[in-house]
Structure 1
């Protein structure tokens, strides 16, 4: 509990500035609730009323340029404290141009590039997703400090703000595990208002107090107190921040605060009785702050002047914000991915990735310099990782079992021994944690290469994967998180619903991500190297049946070899039929064409996002027939997208219907006979080729 001493925090904190920001935040909420929302100038409104004091005091202690805050939708008081312009704060909920999303995101889902001060990592609308990226930033702090020797990071910390409802989420528990096992400079800042919308804290954590429940956690210091009493809250916050800055370990501070409004403007709080509402109003931190500073720090007249000034300031900025231009509809599709293709200059993000700090891609070539010996895909991946780890000290490789074991597929064998356990390391068994951590590491200027052991295991990380892909777009190119996620999947010596899922279409339609799907060792080298040097997040799919397949073996193509995304490969050239495929189906399509003696134009897409529409269309115009073969299930598989575009744009060229040959809409069976009965094979592909040619 906080001490009752009245000297330490009061001497360190600018209480007049705290009062100004508190009144400013309250006036902003008043303006929205009483005018802007009823007038439909603001469509989504989330009040911070009751939470302000603790956040504003916290902001006074975030003083280092490499500090970060990972916050949530009730964190606008902290944003104002850290330098968010009031006009921007008001323009964002109005959906006006500029601000932190250019009208693309809900107005309280904020971000703030540091520019010499603390960085506020991009928030998200889903509860609990703010935790694991902040862990990545904290690990990035330590990597920059220890491994790269950058003293700018000495003493920097990562703070994560969350409500009491968020402590029930996967992200929270994954973050707690990583912070404590890795001894990271993280402060968990829990604002407990007693409710997750209408659900009480007693259903979020046993006993309704997460601080009590975590006291037995090793390497986690717990602070617990009142977030509405100025001096006590200040002393507790100062002590917890200092504890983390001094590298004593991670800490969690729980501060009880009232939520003086509903969850959002539309919430009438009918689930609260009158007695509770009166109790919360009595606990209003603004009233307590006024009693604390008047007349000891501010006179009554000075307080009243601040009230009037902040109200007038909000009124003026509301008018200025409303007068801003509407966001340009011509630009709404911009910044889904990095630009700068086809020789154009790149509009670089402000935070995240290698290029912000001036990274220049090493010499590279799309021409191979092949060695004599053929290698399999496992060795292609391992060797490419090794080369890039040697060439770029900001590349780090991690995932479950990738360290001493070398990965369950042996693709990272020996890398930890060569590069050390700060650059190649194991993680806890949490895919949410693996991907969320990668996002934060990317924000900090590193190139994370994360492994998910099997495609199906990525499902718990879906929230982080989807949020990662939209970062650039929803921050209007202020932030980006370039990374590589390696992901084996597909059938092998047998199948099963858990290790053999393909489902690449899920990632192909996931906004902001690129998807690579090599069918041989040469392409694996070139695509992986391109991904690790790029400026966008990439799913790198490694098909299990190809990892040691003889058909996929090719000579190592050289340390400079790259394959550009969106460029397909012609496996065979022919005039009778276009066959579009990728991954393990490439070998089977070639075998089918050879067995049938067909003159088939067989195209290996190599990447599904982007896919080489130009090469496909050129081939279909030549052959007038098209067969699409893939392992994924049929309904809404990626072949459906290709088929649709061919039918829409090339209908007049077609002499036969576009046909898809895929798995049926079932999970992959374990029994080998069952598996082979549902997979496209060379015999079934050959028959369909023959049928289409004769159509």
Structure 2
């Protein structure tokens, strides 16, 4: 039974959203708000009703039309206006704007400019809630248009498979941007829910009490272990898809008809039926009007971020780690190093978990984790073949305070989940003004040379390194694999950890259990005085072999193992170049626009006066990896190709 006090408070929260959005519309027209603005006028009841029974420690994800959700979850009006105006006092320090308001500490895991992107992130928050067992739930708001996104299907399926405490809350406002929902789908949400084996509920999205009463039962059940549910709340947005939208796709009669069912008018009618006088609602409206006016005035006075803060919040400061002593234990393999590093962190940190395709029962496609799921029940989890859901789950779980280690089976498959990696993991810390923590690891592997073909052989580290906010690590030996993977799991930033599958059987001395290798630090693995040769991952083995070959010819080569591709250890490379005056770079990624190009630019810019010869790159030509063994051998450089380049550079040739 809803009390009169609760009815009045629901009305207050809806009135706050309505007046906030009306003020935002005016501020946008007056050019006080830059960028894009998407308003939720007409949809206030869905936001308030859905969040009514949520706790502070429950998580929501939102959409580009997310102001109402944020307000309903408890965010303050003044910093939200400041955020829309791009001020430093904004919720996200002016880094997010209208579409990206977030406060993970208040359970708001972010409005999102990518349609459907919040859904897998909410699955991550629900995963964290399930693992902690403290009764938290997650709720993901999305519109009917998001149902066409692959992220929706992957996320709902994964939540069903894992039986997560999550509400998928669809605000069906009848339009996907400019298109009618009926023209975008041939199956309704009830049928989709049945297809995924989860519950479905329908509600009048303009009736705040109906929404709240539905959500009361659902959230209570989720706290007790009920599985996911898909809620469809039918509502309507009064304004266009964005402010300035000419709205040629709908009629004025349609809008008038929906306005007759204004959520605030319906709420007032319900209040009158319960004996609440209209004067009480009028007083609320006046109170909210003063609140909005004061908040706008204050936000206008707030300063913009200082230009000197431009680079703030891109990275979390990582702990300083000393270079460890060389490993001198019994011989072990790179594949052992991966397993032992993950096992160590699972043992010593309860917030660490592992997820990916066949990592549990199958122990990973290469058997690296065989038996680990039994050793750590519930913390080594198999997933469906759903890369976006896997990485999105990692993003949400990291925001919830976990340290996920997720696997993308092949590096080539990174391209399937680029949004979650590039637009979410890499950017959310910055776009939330440092509010979002993102300590996650995406493990993957690559390796040409075994006729795996064009879709299973790509070395895509340059593409990933080009994304600000991502760390890219590529070790070349077992000890570094162990120490760097442990450091990556402990790192506060999103790390893509790339193993070369041809190195899984490579042997080397086992380091001490507490062995940690600093991220972002290259290592000179062979001193020399004539040429600097930079490489990483498996190509480093070829580089070292080439250095030994030319050493017999009187060419003394210094070999540097980058270990971390991004951030790039420019200092170690430049220091070596100052002594050798020549630079060769060898890598497995194709030559054009690769890591070698970045190092060549570094040498030309900051090391120009030390260069006595052109920089030479040794890398495959810019084409897909061939399948036929003779063609692949011709395409992929080896120690002979590197040795030839070293000889040419030593002799003063550039080609």
Tell whether the structures are fold-level matches, with TM greater than 0.5: yes
Deviation, structure 1 residue 295: 6.6
- Secondary structure of 1:432's match? helix
Structure 1: runs of 5 or more not aligned: 1-7, 146-152, 344-363
Q: 14, 24, 30: which is aligned to 2:16? A: 24
Q: 487, 495, 501: which is aligned to 1:544? A: 501
Q: How do 1:221-260 residues align onto structure 2 when only pairs under 5 Å count?
A: 221-260=199-238
> Which residue of structure 2 aligns with residue 150 of structure 1?
none
> Which residue of structure 2 aligns with residue 211 of structure 1?
190
On the 8 A contact 2:103/2:436 being kept in 1, the answer is no
On the 8 A contact 1:134/1:440 being kept in 2, the answer is yes
Quote the Cα distance in structure 1 between the aligned partners of 2:320 and 2:384: 41
Deviation, structure 1 residue 648: 0.7
Q: How do 1:290-309 residues align onto structure 2 when only pairs under 5 Å count?
A: 290-294=268-272, 296-309=274-287
> Which residue of structure 2 aligns with residue 187 of structure 1?
167
Quote the Cα distance in structure 2 between the aligned partners of 1:487 and 1:667: 19
Quote the Cα distance in structure 2 between the aligned partners of 1:293 and 1:580: 73
2:597 matches 1:640: yes
Q: How do 1:491-510 residues align onto structure 2 when only pairs under 5 Å count?
A: 491-510=448-467
> Which residue of structure 2 aligns with residue 56 of structure 1?
48
> Which residue of structure 2 aligns with residue 430 of structure 1?
386
On the 8 A contact 1:92/1:108 being kept in 2, the answer is no
Q: 582, 604, 623: which is aligned to 1:666? A: 623
Q: 466, 469, 473: which is aligned to 1:512? A: 469
2:535 matches 1:557: no
2:140 matches 1:160: yes
Deviation, structure 1 residue 306: 2.3
State how many pairs are aligned. Answer: 647
The runs of 4+ residues in structure 1 deviating greater than 4 Å are 340-343
Quote the Cα distance in structure 2 between the aligned partners of 1:576 and 1:368: 25
Deviation, structure 1 residue 247: 2.3
> Which residue of structure 1 aligns with residue 63 of structure 2?
72
Quote the Cα distance in structure 2 between the aligned partners of 1:342 and 1:186: 38
Quote the Cα distance in structure 1 between the aligned partners of 2:209 and 2:515: 61
Deviation, structure 1 residue 68: 1.1
Deviation, structure 1 residue 626: 0.6
2:246 matches 1:268: yes
> Which residue of structure 2 aligns with residue 285 of structure 1?
263
> Which residue of structure 1 aligns with residue 407 of structure 2?
451
Deviation, structure 1 residue 277: 2.2
On the 8 A contact 1:111/1:120 being kept in 2, the answer is yes
On the 8 A contact 1:634/1:663 being kept in 2, the answer is yes
Q: 102, 113, 121: which is aligned to 1:133? A: 121
Q: Deviations over 1:467-509 (max 9, x none)?
A: 1111211111111120111110121422411111111112212
Q: Deviations over 1:357-409 (max 9, x none)?
A: xxxxxxx971245223x222111111222222222232212211112222112
Name the CA shift for 1:478/1:529 in 2 (closer, same or farther; >3 Å). Answer: same
Quote the Cα distance in structure 2 between the aligned partners of 1:61 and 1:453: 39
Quote the Cα distance in structure 2 between the aligned partners of 1:599 and 1:259: 71
On the 8 A contact 1:495/1:672 being kept in 2, the answer is no
Quote the Cα distance in structure 2 between the aligned partners of 1:502 and 1:490: 7
2:102 matches 1:111: yes
Structure 2: runs of 5 or more not aligned: none
Q: 393, 398, 401: which is aligned to 2:358? A: 401
Q: 471, 489, 506: which is aligned to 2:446? A: 489
On the 8 A contact 2:447/2:459 being kept in 1, the answer is yes
Deviation, structure 1 residue 593: 2.1
Deviation, structure 1 residue 548: 1.6
Quote the Cα distance in structure 2 between the aligned partners of 1:130 and 1:321: 27
Quote the Cα distance in structure 2 between the aligned partners of 1:168 and 1:510: 27
Deviation, structure 1 residue 12: 8.2
Deviation, structure 1 residue 261: 0.6
2:391 matches 1:391: no
Q: Deviations over 1:299-324 (max 9, x none)?
A: 22232232222223212211110110
- Secondary structure of 2:640's match? helix
Quote the Cα distance in structure 1 between the aligned partners of 2:21 and 2:272: 23
Name the CA shift for 1:560/1:368 in 2 (closer, same or farther; >3 Å). Answer: farther
> Which residue of structure 2 aligns with residue 478 of structure 1?
435
Name the CA shift for 1:671/1:260 in 2 (closer, same or farther; >3 Å). Answer: same
- Secondary structure of 2:29's match? coil
On the 8 A contact 2:67/2:98 being kept in 1, the answer is no
Quote the Cα distance in structure 1 between the aligned partners of 2:600 and 2:315: 24
2:42 matches 1:85: no
- Secondary structure of 1:120's match? coil
Deviation, structure 1 residue 13: 6.8
Quote the Cα distance in structure 1 between the aligned partners of 2:359 and 2:191: 35
> Which residue of structure 1 aligns with residue 154 of structure 2?
174
- Secondary structure of 2:13's match? helix
On the 8 A contact 1:229/1:285 being kept in 2, the answer is yes
- Secondary structure of 1:254's match? strand
Quote the Cα distance in structure 2 between the aligned partners of 1:185 and 1:13: 29
On the 8 A contact 2:100/2:431 being kept in 1, the answer is no
Quote the Cα distance in structure 1 between the aligned partners of 2:43 and 2:178: 17
Q: Deviations over 1:160-201 (max 9, x none)?
A: 111111111122111211221121111111100011110221
On the 8 A contact 2:49/2:209 being kept in 1, the answer is no
Q: 515, 526, 533: which is aligned to 1:572? A: 526
Q: Deviations over 1:58-88 (max 9, x none)?
A: 222113x431111122232232233211111
Quote the Cα distance in structure 2 between the aligned partners of 1:498 and 1:200: 37
> Which residue of structure 1 aligns with residue 312 of structure 2?
334
> Which residue of structure 1 aligns with residue 28 of structure 2?
37
> Which residue of structure 1 aligns with residue 328 of structure 2?
370
Deviation, structure 1 residue 419: 2.2
User: What TM-score does the superposition give when structure 2 sets the normalisation length?
Assistant: 0.95
On the 8 A contact 2:50/2:211 being kept in 1, the answer is no
> Which residue of structure 2 aligns with residue 461 of structure 1?
417
User: What TM-score does the superposition give when structure 1 sets the normalisation length?
Assistant: 0.90
Quote the Cα distance in structure 2 between the aligned partners of 1:512 and 1:205: 36
Quote the Cα distance in structure 2 between the aligned partners of 1:78 and 1:632: 44
Q: Deviations over 1:619-674 (max 9, x none)?
A: 11111111111110112111111111110111111111111111111111111111
Quote the Cα distance in structure 1 between the aligned partners of 2:212 and 2:403: 37
Quote the Cα distance in structure 2 between the aligned partners of 1:247 and 1:375: 43
